[in-house]
Amino acid sequence: MSQAGIELKQVKKAYGQVEVIKGIDLDIQHGEFCVFVGPSGCGKSTLLRMISGLETISGGEIVIGGEVVNNVPAADRGLAMVFQSYALYPHMTVRQNLSFGLENINTPQSEINDKVDGVSKMLQIDMLLDRRPKDLSGGQRQRVAIGRAVVREPRVFLFDEPLSNLDAELRVDMRGEIAALHRRLGNTMIYVTHDQVEAMTMADKIAVLRLGQLEQFGRPLDLYNRPDNIFVAGFIGSPKMNFIEGTVGENREQLTLDTGETISIPGTGYAQRSGQNVTLGIRPNHMDHSDVGLKVQIGGVEQLGGESYLYGTLANGNRITLHLPGQTSVEIGQTITVAPQAHEIHLFDTESTHTLRMD
């Protein structure tokens, strides 16, 4: 299968006066598994449909394999799309569903048979070839939909929330199968999801979108460890990062929080200024029990055996989540004191919401 990178240059989409994609630049290298992630309405599915050719663009350029494809019909772009709804032909068997696209381009029957047999074995649906979609489970239908894309040998695979109709356990299994498929085929793949856990576990690169704009693009752990702004910091990572506003002290190594408490922030590496209004970000698993720090009134406890989650309230009424390894003796109604691990603190400019620059 041939491979192709995808480059977006100031791509825009407007419906009348409403601009839903606001000038996105993105460079996806050939063979990368790129995930578009973001909240509902951020434009991720619209952007995918523009790349596929199912949606026209209002401005900019889409380049696939070095060729500008703005005016190239969807059928001629060498892409294959897998939809949330599977979109299988209900009156056809699995074999016929897999064969249909190849028959339409007059592929010799012997070649069709070889491709269908090979793909069905790879996706472990070879025993289902004579069944119709109504006789398949959700996971089996999704495999058939993926198989129909694979037999066409596209340059690029596009996935539009393909697992959202499956139950939680099956979604985990299918995530692994799609990632394994990418490793076997080596094609460029773009995958749209609102589930940041899917994004973190599957992607080579993640594009975080919000309100039609690209907030950050990079490797999953880079986004997790070095978010560009408060939105990315809060969106990537589960459970989400805790945020507390405060003011930097005169010596730059203390932070007076809106809760009225003061914590030490030595050696964070950020270039905070004395008197600057900042937002402290700290992940739920990066806080320790301490004699000095933040007072947390516990309102909820989840014991999962190997790990525990505590849900509490700070002195200013803000909610906070703590994630502890193992089991805990903390109970609802109890007040505990925790301190952020200094080397895990994130600092953001409260006004701009961007991460502070480093020293």
Are 256 and 144 in a shared domain? Answer: no
Residues 127-153 have pLDDT tens digits of 999 999 999 988 889 889 989 988 888
Last residue of a domain, one of 234, 259, 287: 234
Confidence of residue 217 (pLDDT cuts 50, 70, 90): very high
Residues 176-188 have pLDDT tens digits of 888 988 998 899 9
Confidence of residue 72 (pLDDT cuts 50, 70, 90): very high
Are 254 and 228 in a shared domain? Answer: no
Confidence of residue 223 (pLDDT cuts 50, 70, 90): very high
**Total domains present in the chain:** 2
Last residue of a domain, one of 213, 234, 255: 234
Are 283 and 230 in a shared domain? Answer: no
- DSSP one-letter string for 202-236: H-SEEEEEETTEEEEEE-HHHHHHS-SBHHHHHHS
> Do the domain assignments include residue 132?
yes
Strand pairing category for 156-160 and 79-82: parallel
Last residue of a domain, one of 203, 234, 265: 234
- Nearest Cα neighbor of 353 from 257, 251, 263, 277 is 277
More confidently predicted of 319 and 124: 319
> Do the domain assignments include residue 354?
no
- The whole-number pLDDT of residue 1 equals 47
Confidence of residue 2 (pLDDT cuts 50, 70, 90): low
Residues 166-216 have pLDDT tens digits of 788 888 888 888 898 899 889 999 999 998 889 999 999 999 999 999 999
Are 321 and 195 in a shared domain? Answer: no
Are 246 and 142 in a shared domain? Answer: no
- Give the CATH number of the domain where residue 167 resides: 3.40.50.300
Are 108 and 135 in a shared domain? Answer: yes
Residues 243-276 have pLDDT tens digits of 999 999 988 889 999 999 999 888 778 989 999 9
Roughly what angle, to the nearest 10 degrees, separates helices 138-150 and 109-122?
A: 140
Are 204 and 261 in a shared domain? Answer: no
In angstroms, the CA 230 to CA 241 distance is 9
- The whole-number pLDDT of residue 3 equals 57
In three-state secondary structure terms, 315 is coil
Burial (CB count within 10 angstroms: exposed 0-12, middle 13-18, buried 19+), residue 119: buried
Using alpha carbons only, what angle is made at residue 228 by residues 251 and 33, rounded to the nearest 5 degrees?
150
In angstroms, the CA 100 to CA 94 distance is 10
Is it the case that residue 328 has pLDDT exceeding 80?
A: yes
> Do the domain assignments include residue 301?
yes
Are 218 and 158 in a shared domain? Answer: yes
Are 246 and 201 in a shared domain? Answer: no
- Give the CATH number of the domain where residue 287 resides: 2.40.50.140
> Do the domain assignments include residue 357?
no
- Domain residues for 287? 241-349
Are 226 and 246 in a shared domain? Answer: no
> Do the domain assignments include residue 358?
no
Strand pairing category for 254-257 and 262-264: antiparallel
Is it the case that residue 310 has pLDDT exceeding 70?
A: yes
Residues 30-43 have pLDDT tens digits of 999 999 999 999 99
Mean pLDDT (the chain) is 92
Are 77 and 49 in a shared domain? Answer: yes
Q: Is the pTM of this model over 0.85?
A: yes
Are 126 and 10 in a shared domain? Answer: yes
